[in-house]
Amino acid sequence: MFQSWQEAGAQILDHEVRISASHYTESDEELIPTGKISPVADTVLDFTDFHLISERIFMDNPLLKVAKGYDHNYVIDPHSIQQPVAEARHILSGRRLQVFSDQPGIQLYTGNWLGGVHGKGVVYSDFAGLCLETQHFPDTPHHPGFPTTILIPGETFYSKSSYKIDTVKG
């Protein structure tokens, strides 16, 4: 018998996120990138400091409504590979996820469309998980201003992303 993931209390709305990104790649109403890079300052997408997912996710804001939450590519600010580009933490349990990467972007997805998905012994609800996916910008071949993803025959592509999971005292 499947149990509701939400009934088990496993949502990410009480998690805090910080992303080292002062810009994001804009998308249209179908979540297709427009090619424009915009600042996150003074928007619901600003995670340059820690914010609870629940703090703004249900706001009546077009940036959130189109995706039913967060599903946005962030332009990672210049950094050292030794510094995390993003962090997610759960204050109550002390769990923390740190993301390190040399990629130019990171996608924050908050499980907006997980409702009804069957997992191991559970049926997930919306917001049952979050993703911090390091990447090049979506739809790069159609936007010359984005970092290139072209790989010429004979060249080698190498990238490194790592995830550190630990607990911290709050």
The predicted structure's pLDDT at residue 122: 86
Average pLDDT, the chain: 92
pTM score of the predicted model: 0.92
Q: Would you state the structure tokens that stand for residue 164, as one six-digit string?
A: 């550190």
CA dist., res. 114 & res. 168, Å (int): 28
Q: Domain segments of the chain: what residues?
A: 3-167
The predicted structure's pLDDT at residue 80: 85
Q: With contact defined as beta carbons under 8 Å apart, do 42 and 63 qualify?
A: no
Q: Would you state the structure tokens that stand for residue 57, as one six-digit string?
A: 């996710």
The predicted structure's pLDDT at residue 3: 47
pLDDT in tens, 61-74: 999 999 999 999 99
| Residue with the larger pLDDT of the pair 2 and 72 | 72
Q: Which of 86, 72, 78 is nearest to 36 (CA)?
A: 72
C-alpha to C-alpha distances, 95 to 46, 99, 133, 155, 166, nearest whole angstrom: 22, 14, 19, 40, 6
CA dist., res. 23 & res. 113, Å (int): 25
Q: With contact defined as beta carbons under 8 Å apart, do 100 and 85 qualify?
A: yes
The predicted structure's pLDDT at residue 49: 98
Task: Given CATH 2.70.98.10, say whether it is the number of domain 3-167.
Answer: yes
Rg (CA), the chain: 17
pLDDT in tens, 51-109: 999 999 999 999 999 999 999 999 999 988 889 999 999 999 999 999 999 999 999 99
Task: Please report the DSSP string for 10-57 in residue order.
Answer: --STT-EEEE--SEEEEE-TTS-EEEEEEE-TTSTT--SS-EEGGGTT
